[in-house]
Chains A and B, each alone.
Chain A
Amino acid sequence: MVTELKQEETLKDIWEPKILAFLCNWCSYAGADLAGVSRIQYPPTIRVVRVPCSGRVSPYFIIKGLLDGWDGIIVSGCHPGDCHYLTGNLVARRRFAILKELLEFFGIEPGRVNFMWASAAEGERFANLIKKATEIVKKLGPNKKFESKW
């Protein structure tokens, strides 16, 4: 009995969230690259999907990601005003604002979906934000809301 409990505890301790990260090609992807070449350490929790622009990220991607069991979703793009396509991230920002409020209203922890800006020169900021997002998702625990019966 005692050993069993211990085992459970350790399992919980070593659980690391899996986070799906949509990074825009022009800023955040390069930012992640910079974090890498600068050897800045950050948690190995994210799996990167490179998208042309944060404006490319449809709410479908995010909802589908949660449905497929990702513990967290990150969308990162250029700072407002710096978008390679001029206004892509501004369009995306409106979408995210509504999606985030809606998720909260539906009772899905809003912390699972995080949006951030990171430019190509901000390797350290990128690493810090990933650390922060990982902590938030870790606190929420595994995403089990959408587990299917099948």
Chain B
Amino acid sequence: MVISVSIESENRDIENSMKETARALLKEKKVDVIIGYSKGTVPLSSAPILIRNVDEVERLVWNNLCYINLAKYLVPRIPQLIDPEKGDLNVGIITKGCVGRALIHLRTENQINLENVIMIGIPCNGIINRKKIEKEIGENEILELFTSGNEIIVKGKDFEKKFSFEDYVNELCKVCKIKAPPKIKELQGSYVGECQEVSSIDDNFEDLTEFESKPTVEKWNYIKDTLQTCTRCYACREACPMCYCKLCFVDQNKPIWFQKTTEISDIISFHLVRAMHLAGRCVACGACSSVCPVGIDLNLINRKLEKIVKERFDFTSGIDASKMPPMMEYSMDDAEEFMLEED
């Protein structure tokens, strides 16, 4: 793939047009508040921010560390987005492709009313895999990270390292085909900025073939080794826009389905059930992996979910509002090659 413009200039363009749109929306009083990204308080991070008037728009930021999925703040609405007298505020939300998918999917699940939400679409150019960079740097303290041309530059006290953007972008972003929020015809009025028309996506899931061809033992060893470090802090759950259950199955104590220890069996069961719950719902934003404090890469499992659902039920979450998610539907004609049959 030849990139004609550099990541750095792309970021600048996105940021400028995003700020312009945000200013216009606030001036015209179309929205009361805008949710966006701002500079993080520590390096390698970004923070969500609420913008209420035009002067504050300058604080909006777009860089390749905006890994948070902002849809999380709308389901359920955080109190700052509800006025005690007027009720739900008109919200503008900075929407990259996966945030758009999340919003549309949540609408399909009747969790959100998008009538007073305006999506400010931006063509996302990929999120940096910050865990990978942290691993490369090791013990040294990172003070600054920025992109220059097509390279990521990491600065510390007495070192400076360069990484190529293409190698250090998230695995999910490498195969992502929905960079800008997908448009659906039911919501023509709520899009501003850059959006794209998506009817279906072609994906051959080549990135999974290597892992899938491994024998069962190797798969188990890999999964076990990767998940072993999990401390069950549930950061992945908190960051996931699809995890909106009022009582999560791991917090339930009547009955206690799965124990709360960090034994490998309990960890595996948590991740298995988490995956089951996200089947046909995961929007591939990679927020779960980005927030993991021990750097577990859940993207592999999420990709597999996407593959199963695409191949079995021809469904991709968050691009088509007229289609029901597979786990909310049934059909007589589903494949059943996995059922036990007499010889």
Contact = CB atoms under 8 A, between A and B. Distances in A.
A and B physically associate: yes
A80 B335 CA distance: 12
A114 B340 contact: yes
Contact of B263 (A97, A100, A149): A149
Interface stretch (A1-9, A37-45, A104-112): A104-112
Nearest to A90: B330
Contacts of B266: 67
Given A98-B308, A114-B340, A129-B340, A106 B334 contact: no
Interface residues of A, number: 44
B304 A132 contact: no
Contact of A116 (B268, B269, B340): B340
B219 A90 contact: no
- Among B223, B265, B340, the one with the most A-chain Cβ atoms within 10 Å of its Cβ is B340
A59 B273 contact: yes
A93 B333 CA distance: 11
A60 B340 contact: no
Chain A: interface secondary structure?
helix
Contacts of A91: 330
B342 A99 contact: no
Contact of A96 (B275, B331, B338): B338
B257 interface: yes
B257 A105 contact: no
Interface string B104-115: 000000000000
Contacts of A116: 339-341
A117 to B, nearest CB: 7
Contacts of B339: 115-117
Contact of B331 (A90, A108, A129, A148): A90
B327 A146 contact: no
B343 interface: yes
A8 B94 CA distance: 65
B249 interface: yes
B294 interface: no
Interface in A100-150: 100-110, 114-117, 125, 128-129, 132-133, 145-150
B30 to A, nearest CB: 41
B342 A102 contact: no
Contacts of B308: 97-98, 101-102
A122 to B, nearest CB: 10
Given A115-B339, A149-B263, A90 B304 contact: no
B186 interface: no
A95 interface: yes
B258 A67 contact: yes
B209 interface: no
A63 B304 contact: no
B317 to A, nearest CB: 14
Contact of A106 (B272, B329, B330): B272
Contacts of A149: 263
B265 A148 contact: yes
Given A87-B330, A107-B223, A148-B265, A98 B276 contact: yes
B313 to A, nearest CB: 8
Contact of A67 (B222, B249, B265, B276): B265
A80 B276 contact: no
A97 B312 contact: yes
A81 to B, nearest CB: 7
List 4 A-B pairs, minimum CB-CB distance, nearest first. A107-B220, A107-B219, A90-B330, A146-B265
Interface of B: 212, 216-224, 249, 257-258, 263-266, 268-269, 271-273, 275-276, 279, 301, 304-305, 308-309, 312-313, 326-327, 329-332, 334-336, 338-343
Given A59-B272, A90-B330, 20 more contacts: A59-B273, A60-B273, A80-B332, A81-B332, A94-B329, A97-B308, A97-B335, A97-B338, A102-B275, A105-B212, A106-B271, A107-B217, A107-B218, A115-B338, A116-B339, A128-B342, A132-B342, A146-B265, A147-B265, A150-B263
Interface of A: 59-60, 63-64, 67, 74, 80-81, 87, 90-91, 93-110, 114-117, 125, 128-129, 132-133, 145-150
15 contacts: A60-B258, A60-B273, A64-B269, A81-B332, A90-B332, A94-B330, A97-B308, A97-B336, A98-B276, A98-B327, A107-B223, A115-B339, A116-B340, A146-B268, A148-B265
